[in-house]
Amino acid sequence: MSASRQIPRPVIPSWLLDRFKALYLNPPHYEASYYGPANMLLTTYFPASLQFLVKPQARLREPPQPAERHSFDSYGQPVGTSNKDGNPDFLVSRGTSALDGDIPFLIYELKRDDVSEGEAMAQMERYIHWARRYQLQLVSPSELHIYALLVFGEQTQIFGMDPDATFTHTGPRVGTTDDTILTLFHSLRSSHGT
């Protein structure tokens, strides 16, 4: 998906960056304390005016198992009715007016520092595989690429899955509001926005 026009990089309000710094200095007990600032950061980079949809706590439902009850999700895909589905904190998609046409491309998951990194990485891999299955229903295989950000307060790990289904993650974590993350956001904004 390529943008039809040059999309300028947004300006992050200084108060929002200061809010993140305050959270880093005094990490809250609940990860939900990051949700407001994270939502503002995501909707600044991925606004509805560019045809983005930022879904908080999107339910990622697995395909139905044999002999299991099933339903259809908001993407029109058959899914199981298990309570074991994933719920990433935020799912960013290219939005459409149809209930089954949104194309997910970014998963944003917040974790407290006391969560096992191995457990969190396994969760991210499950989320990415889910998003890839959905993309396969909507775009050509050459356009498949999913990013996932695992946010541990001030530091973020970047994960991805390429069109060949290779699950990758970057080396060391990067700053949650550093230029590396904002550049990735802008790249995704430019390649998926209208």
Q: Would you state the pLDDT for residue 184?
A: 94
Domain assignments of the chain as residue spans, ordered by start: 17-61+68-192
Q: Which CATH architecture is the domain 17-61+68-192 placed in?
A: Alpha-Beta Complex (3.90)
pLDDT for 142 beyond 80: no
Q: Would you state the pLDDT for residue 166?
A: 74
Residue type, 135: Q
Confidence of residue 46 (pLDDT cuts 50, 70, 90): very high
Mean of the pLDDT values across residues 22-30? Answer: 90
Confidence of residue 83 (pLDDT cuts 50, 70, 90): low
* DSSP of the chain: ---SSPPPPPPPPHHHHHHHHHHHHS--SSGGGGHHHHHHHHHHHS-GGGTEEEEET--BPPPPPTT--EEE-TTS-EEE--TT-B--SEEEEE--SSTT--EEEEEEEE--TTS-HHHHHHHHHHHHHHHHHHHHHHS-GGG--EEEEEEETTEEEEEEE-TT--EEE-SS-EETTSHHHHHHHHHHHHHH--
pLDDT in tens, 85-127: 678 899 999 998 887 778 888 999 998 877 888 888 888 888 8
Q: Would you state the pLDDT for residue 2?
A: 46
